Amino acid sequence: ENMILEEAEMKGEVTYELKGSKEGFGFDFCFVPHGYDKTFSELGLDEKNKISARKKVIDKIRTRLVRSA
């Protein structure tokens, strides 16, 4: 039972106008995170990785692992 479960969310708006590259995750070109005026695709990978739900989950897991070490 060494399983760690965490969750996170990314709030934002889905746009009707598709912007940016359609490469990346399925909705990156039509999702504008709250506090931004660009879609995930337009933000670029570096900026997206700083604010994404995946980043939030990784940070939570890292904190739990450091505490338990």
Q: Which residue has the higher pLDDT, 2 or 40?
A: 40
Reported for 46-55, long-range contacts at CB under 8 A and 24+ positions apart, including other chains, are 48/24, 51/10, 52/10, 53/8, 53/9, 53/10, 54/8
**How high is the pLDDT of residue 44?**
80
**How high is the pLDDT of residue 24?**
67
Q: Going by DSSP bridges, is the β-strand pair 12-14/31-33 parallel, antiparallel, or unpaired? A: antiparallel
Task: Read off the DSSP letter of residue 25.
Answer: S
pLDDT digits (tens, 9 = 90+) for 15-68: 998 888 777 677 888 999 999 999 999 998 889 889 999 899 999 999 999 988
N-term to C-term CA, the chain: 16
Q: Where does the pLDDT of residue 1 fall: very low under 50, low under 70, confident under 90, or very high at 90 and above?
A: low
Task: Read off the DSSP letter of residue 12.
Answer: E
